[in-house]
Structure 1
Amino acid sequence: MPAAERLILILTWLARLGAGLAFAVLIGTVLIQVLGRFTGIAPVWTEELTRYALLFMVAFGAGLAFRSGDLVNVDVICESLPGRAPWVLRLLAAAVTAGLALYLLPHAWRYVAIGRMQTSPALGVRMDAVHASVWLMLALLAVFAGLRVVGMLAGTETGKPEKPEEE
C-alpha cells in the first residue's frame, strides 16, 4: 500500500475514532441528563458537556463528511453539464474549500487563544480546549479537501461522492 493511501486511511480512522468518542460522550451525558430528571438529581454539568461533545463530533465529522461527499451538496446543475465541466467544478470546489479552511486557521487559532483566559461555568474547563474544536474542524476540512484535490489531479479519484453499496 502506498504511503499516501496509508496516510489517508490513518487520518480517516483517527477522525472516525474522534467522532465516535465524541458521540459516545454525547449519548452518555444525555442519558445521565434524562435519568437525572426522573430521579430529581439532574447534574448541572451535563448540559455543558453535551454542547462540547457536539462541537467535537462536528469538528471530527466535517472533514469525513467532505471526504465521503455527505456534506450538503447541490450538484444537479454541475453534474448535468457536458464533458469535463463537472470534474473541473468538483476540483474547484475542493480547492476553494481547502483554501478557505487554510485561510481561516490562523484566525481560529486566535479564537482558541482567547479561551485561555476563560473557564466554563459548570465544569471549570479552560475554554481554549473547547474553542480548539473550531480549529480542529477547519484543519480536518482543509486536509480532506486537499486530499481530494491531490487525488483528483493524480487521477486516483473523481471527486464524486462515495456511493454506499446497496443491499
Structure 2
Amino acid sequence: MDPNQKADEQEVLEQLDPLASVPTFQGALGRLIGVIDTLFTVLAVTALVAIAGTVLLQISARLFLPFSVSWTEELSRYLFIYMVAMSSGVVLRQHRNVSVELFQHTLGLRFRAALHSLICLLIAGFALIVLPYAWQYAMNGAWQTSPTLKIPMLYIFFSTVVMFALLLFYGAIGFLEGFVAIFRSPERPDSEFP
C-alpha cells in the first residue's frame, strides 16, 4: 500500500474514531499481534463464507431436490456463533464496536490513551470475571448432542470460552498499548517502541 494512502486512511480513521489515534505496538510484538489478528480474521471470514454456502445449499435443496436438507439451518446457526466469537477480539482491537462518542475528539492524545486504557481494562476485567462461568457453561454441553448434526454441544458452548478469552487477551493488549502511549514522549518515533 502506498505510504501516502496509508497516512490518508489513518487520518480519516482518526476523524471517525478518535481512539484510533492511540499508537499500537510496533516491532516484533506488533507483528505477532498482527499475525494473531489475521488468523482470527481469516477464521471469522471462513465461517461467514461457510454460512453463505450452507444457506445456498439449503435454498438449492428446497428448490431442486424432492427433500429438504435438515441440518443446514443448525450448521449455519453454529457457524454464526463461532464467527461472532472469533471476531470479537479483532473488533475490539480495531475499534469497530458500537460506541457513543461525545467528547473523545476534544481530548489530547494522552487523555485518549488513558480513556482507551480504561475501556480496555473494563472489558478485560469483565471477561476475566465471566470466563470461569463460560467454562462451566461449556462443560454443561458435554453430555448433550445437537438435534440434527449429533455433535456434542460442548463444541458449540465452547464458543463462549473462545469469545471471552479473546476479549481478555485483546483487552489486556489495548490496556498496555494505551498505558504505554500515556507515558510515551510525543517526539519519539514509534519505531523505538516494542
| Number of the residue aligned with 1:37 | 62
- Measured in 2, the distance between the counterparts of 1:124 and 1:9 equals 36
TM-score, with structure 1 as normaliser: 0.85
- Alignment match of 2:135 (pick from 109, 118, 132): 109
What is the CA-CA distance between 1:80 and the residue it aligns to? Answer: 3.5
Is there any run of 5+ residues in structure 2 with no aligned partner, and where? Answer: 1-25, 185-194
Residues of 1 paired with 2:119 and 2:42: CA distance?
27
Q: Which amino acid aligns with 2:57?
A: I
Please give the secondary structure, in 1, of the residue aligned with 2:151: coil
Q: 1:134 is matched with which residue: 130, 135, 160? A: 160
Query: What residue identity is the alignment partner of 1:27?
Result: A
Q: CA deviation at 1:10?
A: 2.1
Relative to 1, partners in 2 of residues 1:108 and 1:118: Cα closer, same or farther, differing over 3 Å?
same
In 2, Cα distance between equivalents of 1:77 and 1:117: 50
Q: CA RMSD in A?
A: 2.1
Q: Provide the C-alpha distance between the structure 2 equivalents of 1:82 and 1:12, rounded to a whole number of angstroms.
A: 28
Report percent identity of matched pairs.
Answer: 33
- The equivalent of 1:161 in structure 2 is none
**Which residue of 14, 17, 31 maps to 2:39?**
14
Query: Within 1, Cα distance between the matches of 2:35 and 2:75?
Result: 28
Task: State the Cα distance separating 1:103 from its structure 2 match.
Answer: 1.2
**Structure label with greater radius of gyration:** 2
Q: Give the CA deviation at 1:101.
A: 0.6
Counterpart Cα distance in 1 of 2:166 and 2:157? 15
**Partner deviation per Cα, 1:47-82 (whole Å, 9 max, x = no partner):** 100100000000011111111111111122344457
Residue 124 of structure 2 is matched in structure 1 by: 98
The partner residue of 1:118 within 144, 149, 154 is 144
Q: What is the match of residue 53 of structure 1? A: 79
**Counterpart for residue 30 of structure 2:** 5
Query: Size of the alignment, in residue pairs?
Result: 157
- Residue 89 of structure 1 deviates from its aligned partner by 2.2
Cα deviation, residue 20, structure 1: 1.5
Report the counterpart of residue 11 of structure 2 in structure 1.
none
1:145 to 153, 171, 180: 171
Which amino acid is 2:39 matched to?
Answer: L
Cα shift at 1:131:
0.6
- The counterpart of 1:63, out of the listed 89, 110, 118, is 89
Gaps of 5+ in 1: 159-167
